[in-house]
Structure 1
Amino acid sequence: MPVLDATHDAALRSFVPGADGHPDFPIQNLPLGIVSPADGAPRAGIAIGERVLDLPGLLAAGLLAGEAARAAEAAAGPGLNRLLALGAGPRRALRARVSELLREGSPDRAAVEALLHEAASCRVHLPAAIGDYTDFFVGIHHAENTGRQFRPDNPLLPNYKHLPIGYHGRASSIRPSGTPVRRPSGQTRPPGTEAPLFGPSRRLDYELELGVWIGPGNALGEPVAVGAAQDQVAGFCLLNDWSARDIQGWEYQPLGPFLGKSFATTISPWIVTPEALAPFRIPQAPRPAGDPEPLPYLLDAADQAAGALDLVLEVLLLTPGLKAAGLPAHPVSRSNARHMYWTVAQMVAHHTSGGCNLQPGDLLGTGTLSGPEAGAYGSLLETTNGGREPVRLASGEERRFLEDGDEVVLKARGLREGFAPIGFGECRAVIVGGAG
């Protein structure tokens, strides 16, 4: 489990303009990513304020040594998979050294300043090649809210409180923030009709999730114990697992999500490390009275004591009407990552319990992380009660589900008294019209 150290000191200051007090990327964060600077090839970088620190440049300048240099060497190329595979030791050493280099009073300031790129001039990429993607369903309030729409008397299926439910998603359609999402077409069967129709989805939705980047991985046939599962986590991002509710509703039985989910997933482009999130670790919420205790392979005392995350999660909606009127994005919901019924370690342990081999750069989604009350729901399906209660906007527009031109923005921040707030950067995408 990550521990607090000098890199978390709220009194740390950076010489990088605008880094101190930055809403996402102060010196206490230092997330990893892949960017292309203006007229440059993709390369590893570290976000600091409104700049990106060139990681290969640090190595070439001789500013890294030991395990920190080993981490930077592994980050060479267009993806961070080899760095993720190294595990926590080199990653922690790199974070500590970069923190030293970026601090006020750094003796290497001049050399480091030459390696800072303007973030606005950089193109972001996926931070790693994603071999496999698994989406879980551990947000219990979302599970109850959606289940209640279809099974009012029994919203949760019998297995929900016994195991972390998930399904294998489509890795090839994951894109970084800023990439437009094309409205999918598929088969639907509208209410009152007997035969299905083919055409564009009319019930397009977002899902507010955290993404979990896998580090070293495990060998085929060798499960990861829940007590060791945190060692497999290389970092976190925001994740929007777009959903075509009408396509999904017709196709998902008996084998689960398919075309209603595989057309696009958007992630924030920075890997926020477990080390950066150490101040925001909290105990897993106690289970309500009467809920079953997890089976032994899913239960670890240390994970229960500090395996949850206290992160504020937000969804904002920017429509063509709001843009035309010069109005800001509409805040749709505000939730928290603490609303996970299962921890990340339990997700990893269960995923590998049957012998499945996770690999460096694999991505897990938590599932939609809704809060327990209105105003904290992580999807329009919940917010609009299945489309029956539209969201009303200052522009005079209404939204039951997403329309072409709508832009969804997800945000996340860690907030704790005595520590510098850190964020994830935006996870945003605009809906464009599809074919058919």
Structure 2
Amino acid sequence: MLTSFIEVSKESDFPIQNLPYGAYRTESGDIHLCSAIGEYIIDLFVLDEVEFFGGPNLKGKGVFLDSSLNYFMSLGRPAWKEARETLQKLLEKSNPRLKDDEQLRQKVLKEQDSVEMVMPVQIGDFTDFYSSEQHARNVGAMFRDPENALLPNWKHLPVGYHGRASSVVISGTKVHRPKGQILPEGADAPVFEESKLVDFELEVGFLTGPGNELGQPIDVDKAEEHIFGLVLVNDWSARDIQKWEYQPLGPFLAKNWATSISPWIVTLDALEPFRTEAPAQNPKPLSYLDQKNRTTFDIELEVFIKTEKLSTPYEICRTNYKHLYWTMAQQLAHHTITGCNIKPGDLYGSGTISGSEEGSYGSMLELSWKGTKKLKLPSGEVRSFLEDGDEIIMKAFSKNDELRIGFGEVRGKMIY
């Protein structure tokens, strides 16, 4: 186990084994790429300026002198691995280079609480999948036949749709209550008004690095070579707008108004100790989706609500990423099987992640069972869907007896 010269709490999301990637705004207003360790951010711009990254895949390229990670992401796994190992060596407790250079250390290390995190990636395209079997069954049972909750295609392909990249926002960004066409219960014609059924959706997303040429699918067993890392995602939803608009082409305005992501991108290398077997699939997928050594990651997920009357956030959901029926490799292979080309910085959401118990449902739609149940809060308030002033806080981490790798959190407050 590597140990850093920087003291890191055992409960921290950011030990030396993690080193996620992000970006922050400096005091002068510039955007610098960064990593994280313990309670500090690591300014990668400053390290690149002094030519710290001198390995064969990074030397002279100035990958961290940019204001986004896209160029670095495009270089692929050898460059990612080199950067990670270089940072770990710098931070290791026996290495004096940064540890004993007070002037450089003050430039490189800054307290996380003192900086403003910003979007670290120029997101080109956003695709959202629908890969949690329990969530799909819950929604199918609510709106269709509980005995036939899954549509016939669901276990044959990773269902998905193309979302809106321009409204993907960083954690902490306030989100407004959208307006749109809504069909009142029992009415024959829609009205135009604000959504009354605003919801969160607990998701984990991945960001791609090297792309593929138009017309050249990505092989399912090589798909992870194209995946830079994972982020925590809240894909906000307006259920009443969606109910009226979604047939026949699926979500549109109900989903295009806001998607919040965590500021830190956690790499697959950091999550490797938590790789685990993925759920069995029946029927067997078609050959292009038949992944050898099919695995996923054991990532605990939590959702909290903070209302204006609650003094502290209250947990309303706890589930796990490992329950997803379709893996990220299968999602990416399916996305490109037509020859669709992907690019560095594209974002792919997992779809709402729900477990088998009520306390593991990843949306208010399920927690309130389409509004028929009231979620009781310690403040005495009740919720079926989100009200103005409500803040949703999502957290994610992988943990064993020796190690914790976390994502930080993604926050979003509902405003009118």
Q: Could you tell me how far 1:68 is from its partner in structure 2?
A: 6.2
Distance in 1, Cα, partners of 2:267 & 2:164: 24
Q: TM-score, normalised by structure 1?
A: 0.92
Residues 280-333 of structure 1: CA deviation (Å, up to 9, x unaligned): 11111223xxx310001001222x1xx2110000000000111xxxx3211001
Stretch deviating more after TM superposition (30-39 or 86-95): 30-39
Distance in 2, Cα, partners of 1:190 & 1:69: 58
SS in 2 for 1:230: helix
Distance 1:71 1:206, change over 3 A: farther
> What is the aligned counterpart of 2:129 among 132, 136, 142?
136
> What is the aligned counterpart of 1:400 among 361, 384, 400?
384
Stretch deviating more after TM superposition (245-254 or 64-73): 64-73
> Is the CA contact (8 Å cut-off) linking 2:278 and 2:323 kept in structure 1?
no
SS in 2 for 1:257: coil
> What is the aligned counterpart of 2:116 among 115, 123, 137?
123
> Is the CA contact (8 Å cut-off) linking 2:48 and 2:65 kept in structure 1?
no
Q: Could you tell me how far 1:184 is from its partner in structure 2?
A: 0.4
Residues 98-121 of structure 1: CA deviation (Å, up to 9, x unaligned): 111112122111335221122112
Tell me which residue corresponds to 2:338.
354
Tell me which residue corresponds to 1:301.
292
> Is the CA contact (8 Å cut-off) linking 1:13 and 1:20 kept in structure 2?
no
Q: Could you tell me how far 1:70 is from its partner in structure 2?
A: 4.1
- The letter for the 2-side match of 1:119 is Q
Tell me which residue corresponds to 1:202.
196
The reply to whether residue 190 of structure 1 matches residue 180 of structure 2 is no
Tell me which residue corresponds to 1:368.
352
Q: Could you tell me how far 1:40 is from its partner in structure 2?
A: 4.0
Aligned residues: 411
Tell me which residue corresponds to 2:46.
57
Tell me which residue corresponds to 2:396.
412
Distance in 2, Cα, partners of 1:70 & 1:190: 61
Tell me which residue corresponds to 2:321.
337
Distance 1:83 1:157, change over 3 A: same
> Is the CA contact (8 Å cut-off) linking 1:281 and 1:308 kept in structure 2?
yes
Distance in 1, Cα, partners of 2:160 & 2:138: 17
Tell me which residue corresponds to 2:299.
311
> What is the aligned counterpart of 2:148 among 140, 151, 154?
154
Tell me which residue corresponds to 1:427.
410
Q: How large is the RMSD of aligned CA atoms in angstroms?
A: 1.3
> Is the CA contact (8 Å cut-off) linking 2:374 and 2:383 kept in structure 1?
yes
Aligned positions of 1:212-361 closer than 5 A = 212-287=206-281, 291-302=282-293, 304=294, 307-322=295-310, 327-361=311-345
Q: Could you tell me how far 1:123 is from its partner in structure 2?
A: 1.3
Taking only the aligned residue pairs, the percentage that are identical comes to 46
> Is the CA contact (8 Å cut-off) linking 1:186 and 1:200 kept in structure 2?
yes
Tell me which residue corresponds to 1:75.
64
Residues 400-428 of structure 1: CA deviation (Å, up to 9, x unaligned): 000000000010000123x4111001101
- The letter for the 2-side match of 1:113 is R
Tell me which residue corresponds to 2:37.
48
Q: Could you tell me how far 1:197 is from its partner in structure 2?
A: 0.9
Stretch deviating more after TM superposition (360-369 or 146-155): 146-155
Tell me which residue corresponds to 1:110.
100
Tell me which residue corresponds to 1:167.
161
SS in 1 for 2:13: coil
SS in 2 for 1:428: strand
Distance in 2, Cα, partners of 1:378 & 1:118: 32
> What is the aligned counterpart of 1:16 among 2, 6, 28?
6
Residues 106-165 of structure 1: CA deviation (Å, up to 9, x unaligned): 211133522112211211111110010000000111111111001122111000000000
Q: Could you tell me how far 1:344 is from its partner in structure 2?
A: 0.5
Tell me which residue corresponds to 1:382.
366
Distance in 1, Cα, partners of 2:93 & 2:410: 30
Tell me which residue corresponds to 1:6.
none
Q: Could you tell me how far 1:429 is from its partner in structure 2?
A: 0.6
Distance in 1, Cα, partners of 2:194 & 2:12: 38
> Is the CA contact (8 Å cut-off) linking 2:54 and 2:60 kept in structure 1?
no
> Is the CA contact (8 Å cut-off) linking 1:387 and 1:400 kept in structure 2?
yes
SS in 2 for 1:224: coil
Gaps of 5+ in 2: none
SS in 2 for 1:375: helix
Q: TM-score, normalised by structure 2?
A: 0.96
Q: Could you tell me how far 1:37 is from its partner in structure 2?
A: 2.6
Q: Could you tell me how far 1:334 is from its partner in structure 2?
A: 0.3
Distance in 2, Cα, partners of 1:183 & 1:26: 37
Q: Could you tell me how far 1:78 is from its partner in structure 2?
A: 1.4
- The letter for the 2-side match of 1:316 is F
Distance in 1, Cα, partners of 2:334 & 2:241: 29
Runs of 4+ that moved beyond 3 A = 67-72
Distance in 2, Cα, partners of 1:14 & 1:20: 11
> Is the CA contact (8 Å cut-off) linking 1:27 and 1:48 kept in structure 2?
yes
> Is the CA contact (8 Å cut-off) linking 1:238 and 1:267 kept in structure 2?
yes
Residues 52-87 of structure 1: CA deviation (Å, up to 9, x unaligned): 111121122233211464497223221100011011
Distance in 1, Cα, partners of 2:273 & 2:356: 24
Distance in 2, Cα, partners of 1:73 & 1:201: 46
Distance in 2, Cα, partners of 1:424 & 1:71: 30
Distance in 2, Cα, partners of 1:59 & 1:127: 17
Distance in 2, Cα, partners of 1:27 & 1:184: 41
